[in-house]
Structures are given as C-alpha cells and as structure tokens.
Amino acid sequence: MAVAEAPGSGASPVDESPLVEARHLTKRYDAFVAVDDLSFAVGRGEIYGLLGPNGAGKTTTILMLLGLSEPTSGEARVLDLDPARDPLEVKRHVGYLPDSVGFYGRLSGRENLDYTARLNGIETGQADARIEELLEQVRLTDAGDKPTDTYSRGMLQRLGVADALVKDPSILILDEPTTSIDPAGVAELLDLIRSLVRDRGLAVLLSSHLLSQVERLCDRVGIFSHGRLVAEGPVRELAERAGDAHLSLDEVYRRLEANAEEDADDNRD
C-alpha cells in the first residue's frame, strides 16, 4: 500500500467538527467482511465521494451511517450522534437517495413527496410550498401530477433528489446517483447537487462506481475496495501520488488496485 495514506488523516476544509464521521467502522456477515475498519469524515459544505466498484461495501457503509444497519464494531457519528442509538434524530437531518430509488407507481410525483413530508411531520401548507419549490428545482413541475409509473429513470432519479431534500436536511447521502441515467442527465444532476451545496451549505456524501463521472464534483474522494479504504484525498492529490497529476481517477484506481494485488502477493510469499 505505497500510495495509501492512513485513512481519515486528510485535513477537512472546514474548521468545525465533521457532520459525518466513520471511526473504524466494520461490518461482518458471518465470514464475509463487507466493510473493514473504515474511517473518514465529511465536513459542512463538502462533497465527499465514496468511490469503488460494485460490492466494495459502499451501500453497507451508508446504511450504517443512517442507522439502518448496525456496525459489527467501530462507530458511525452523524451530527455527533450515534445512528445506531439515535436513528430517528439522525434520519430527521439526513436526506438519503438510495441506490435505484423507487416510488409508489400509482401515486404522482407530488403525492410521493407529500408522503415523505408527512412522514417527517411537516405541516401541509409548509410541505406544499416546499414540494413546489423542489419540483421546480429538479424540473419536474409539469410531470408532478403524473403517476411515477410513467417517469423515466432520469426523472425518478431527479425526483429522488427532491425527495431527499423534502425534510430540509443538513446532510445529503446519495447512493450511486448517476447510475442508469444518460450522460446529459448525469451532467444536469451533478450541476444540481453542486448548486445545492452552494445554496444550502449541505455536507454531501455520495457513492459511485463510475469514477470518471463524479471526479470533478467531489472535493475529496475515498477509494474503496473490498471493504477497505485504499486511498483518500482530493482527486488531484491522489493522481499526483499515483505518478501523474493529469491522470483520470479511473487510471488512479487501476494503479491502486494493481498495487493492492502486489501487496497481497507479497504477503502470501
């Protein structure tokens, strides 16, 4: 592991305590280790990318941060709360866009968002105004009254972003937000996320296996492989460490993987 620094040591761009933090987070399913001693932190106004191939443990990590899955060992901290002990309080302040998000097909986009608002205890009048504003922001005002059965994947993804924002969160967690939408849709979605961070000062944690799509969006990235964080830092820094500042993140990842395999071989000898 020549390239990887101790995870979590990257300086946060903001002074205050991080909004999201993982401390030696570990999740084991019987013999299989899904997440292995993971540590990282995300501060206010920061976009952190948890990057790695499918099955690297990204979604498991996110579920632990939301208190939807209990860590085997280690600790997650969200807003200085333990999601495993205080899940409701955490979920009140964290907007979550799940991997391949779904909606109730017979209900319209607006009705779906309204359900989320009611689950969050938002009063009807206030909810209506916020939903209107969010639908406009994700450009679904016209489609808002159509059943979500008729939506395209990209529209569902945008509705998912709006859904995550209904509760006016201070943290946004996006799991594979760009999967299965076309390139134009990806650019649009990333612009949307960027403007949200700018306008609302959110902390954003996003996971993706499409490294090239999100590398320009993230302030910092953590590269995740087989449940372990193998490198962390701003994209450019990682590229420099891998040998060339102009390397794409995909190339950086390939080199890291190659190194990791060499290490594994060394260990075997």
Neighbours of 2 (CB within 10 A): 10
Helix (H) or strand (E) holding 27: strand 20-29
Which one, 33 or 81, has the nearer CB to other proteins?
81
CA dihedral (87, 37, 99, 47) in degrees, to 10, reads 90
Residue closer to other proteins, measured from CB, 17 or 150 = 17
CB of 182 to other proteins, least distance (A): 20
Query: In the complex, which residues of this chain contact other proteins (CB under 8 A)?
Result: 16-17, 19, 59-60, 63, 66, 68-69, 79-81, 86, 88-89, 91-94, 96, 98-107, 115-116, 118-123, 126, 160, 163, 167-168, 170
Q: How far is the CB of 144 from other proteins (least distance, A)?
A: 18
CA distance 194 to 45: 10
d(CA 249, CA 51) in angstroms, rounded, equals 10
Going by their DSSP bridges, the two strands 203-208 and 171-175 should be labelled as: parallel
End-to-end CA distance of the chain: 16
Cβ(64)–Cβ(26) below 8 Å? no
| Shortest separation between residue 52's beta carbon and other proteins, angstroms | 16
- Output the smallest distance, CB 145 to other proteins, in A: 16
Q: How many residues does the chain have?
A: 269
Cβ nearer to other proteins, comparing 37 with 168: 168
The residue (of 147 and 234) whose beta carbon lies closer to other proteins is 147
Cβ distance to other proteins smaller for residue 21 or 36? 21
Nearer residue to other proteins within complex by CB, 102 or 243: 102
For 5, residues 6+ apart whose C-beta sits below 8 A from its C-beta are: 231, 232, 233
Extract the tokens encoding 145. 């009254």
**What is the closest distance, in whole angstroms, from the C-beta atom of residue 30 to other proteins in the complex?**
13
CB of 176 to other proteins, least distance (A): 12
